[in-house]
Amino acid sequence: MSGNIRRARLEERPRITEIRLAVRENQLMDPSRVTDADYQWFSDNPGIWVWEENGQILGFSAADTRDGTIWALFIDPDHEGRGIGRALLAKACAVLRAAGHRTATLGTAPGSRADGFYRRAGWVALYIDKRGEQILRLDL
């Protein structure tokens, strides 16, 4: 891998949104769940982190330091399987750890590739929430 992780700039939101809408699983069925205010908060506070390679953003992550959750981790489908997700997940977990959290949680579709990815990374399934998402936890 020859990319680097850096903080996203506000003007890069169209590319981040493009990646978010291109995923094959965990598709955003209700775009109102990601508001301009959400994006602004994450940009201003803990940061939205991107994987950039040859001037192109290939993935992003964001951690919510208010509650210890991973808010987002998405990779351009054409660049999956290269370790970008693992690197961005590690960055999101580091942000939570630096904010004082000792555990992280996230939600994803049960039985999805993402579910398997997180479990292989040591995340533990807790329960299925009211939206039908598998909630997982990792000790930081």
Residue whose C-alpha is closest to residue 73's, from 11, 132, 128, 136: 136
- Report the percent of the chain where pLDDT is more than 90: 73
d(CA 16, CA 50): 8
pTM: 0.90
Q: Residue 33, Cα to own-chain centre: how many angstroms?
A: 15
Closest CA to 59 of 91, 96, 104: 91
Q: Is 12 exposed, middle or buried (0-12, 13-18, 19+ CB in 10 A)?
A: middle
Structure tokens at 128: 């299925």
Higher pLDDT, 75 or 20: 75
pLDDT tens string 9-50:
988 989 998 998 887 766 555 566 667 777 788 888 888 999
Q: What is the mean pLDDT of the chain?
A: 90
Domains of the chain: 4-101 (3.40.630.30)
pLDDT at 1: 58
Three-state secondary structure call for residue 104: strand
